[in-house]
Structure 1
Amino acid sequence: MYAWVLALHIISFTCWFAALFYLPRLFIYHSHALRQDDGQGSTRFQIMERKLYSAIMTPGMILTLVFGIWLVALDFQVYLTAGWFYVKAVLVVLLIGFHHICMAHMKRFAAGTNRRGGTYYRIFGIVPALLLIAIVILSVVKPF
């Protein structure tokens, strides 16, 4: 049972991270379209962002959390005494915060109040990569 739940957890977070990596890239293109007064392009990016967020990113996050909690429940005593797990949990909370910041950016684009440019979104897009690296190292290496 543990192996199946772990496989589903890995599939879920892969989908979640794919969207977390791609959405900031869409923000870069969207901000570029706005700077060029490309209303049709801006509308297209709003649709792409909304669909990515609602059809892939949010379900990926929810399923990652469900299967992650299930994994903990299957072997609660081991996780309870693992220091690396608590650090991972904090990083996952930060990742959920990043997820919601993406929604705030989408709302600003939709409302026409976005003031950030491509450079900001390029730097913003690095955050999930750094969190992924840390989370995977903690989960595989279990350094403490």
Structure 2
Amino acid sequence: MTDLLFTIYPWVKSLHIMAVISWMAGLFYLPRLYVYHVEKAQKVEGAETIFFEMEEKLLRVIMRPAMYVAWLCGLIMVFTPGIVGWDWSWPWIKGAAVIGMTWFHHWLMARRRDFLEGRNKLTGRQFRIMNEVPTVLMVIIVLAVVVKF
């Protein structure tokens, strides 16, 4: 099993990076869609339906599969012997930030349900502020992995 993990490691790491890029693109874009949904959808007839479809496709077709692949590949890499030393602080910091990123993903899904049910109470400004969450988490993750603090 160890030989297999070492053999597939470069492929798993490559797939992990591609999935993370796709997931992050969605995490950056969806809150921006919510800003426009709040601020513009009511001003143009039929626009809300378009926003609903764009948000749903982004979540279901891009973000969710990318998150699953990123997690799966990340876990495979974690279980590859010699890759992660659990006595180091960086894997714990990265892990906490990835859990935070996953929480944010689910928070965005809950906000979509609010829109669908007509219960959204957040403003465009509040969504703009929340749009910074994935950036902060990304900085923490990249620094933890590259600098290994």
Bin the TM-score by the shorter chain. over 0.9
Comparing 79-88 with 13-22, which one deviates more in the overlay? 79-88
TM-score of the two chains, using structure 2 as the length reference: 0.90
Q: In structure 2, what is the equivalent of residue 18 of structure 1?
A: 25
Gaps spanning 5+ residues in structure 1: where?
none
1:44 aligns with one of 17, 42, 50: 50
Question: Aligned residue for 1:8?
Answer: 15
Q: Do residues 101 (structure 1) and 107 (structure 2) align?
A: yes
Alignment-mate amino acid for residue 25 of structure 1: R
Match of 2:119 in 1: 113
| 2:35 is aligned with 1:28 | yes
Report deviation, 1:79.
3.0
Q: 1 or 2, which has the higher helix percentage?
A: 1
How far does residue 5 in structure 1 lie from its aligned partner after superposition?
1.2
CA contact (8 A) 1:88 1:138 kept: yes
How far is 1:80 from its partner? 2.1
Please list every run of at least 4 consecutive aligned residues from structure 1 whose deviation after the TM superposition is greater than 6 angstroms: none
Deviations 1:28-78 (A, max 9, x none): 110012453x35111110110000000000111100000000001113673
Cα pair 1:6 1:67 within 8 Å, conserved? yes
Structure 2: which amino acid aligns with 1:31? V
Q: Structure 2: which 5+ residue stretches go unaligned?
A: 1-7
Measured against aligned partners, the alpha-carbon deviations of 1:67-122 in whole angstroms (never above 9, x if no partner) come to 00000111367332221101110111111110000001100111111121110111
Indicate the SS of the match to 2:46: helix
Q: When the two structures are aligned, how many residues end up with a matched partner?
A: 142
Structure-1-length-normalised TM-score: 0.93
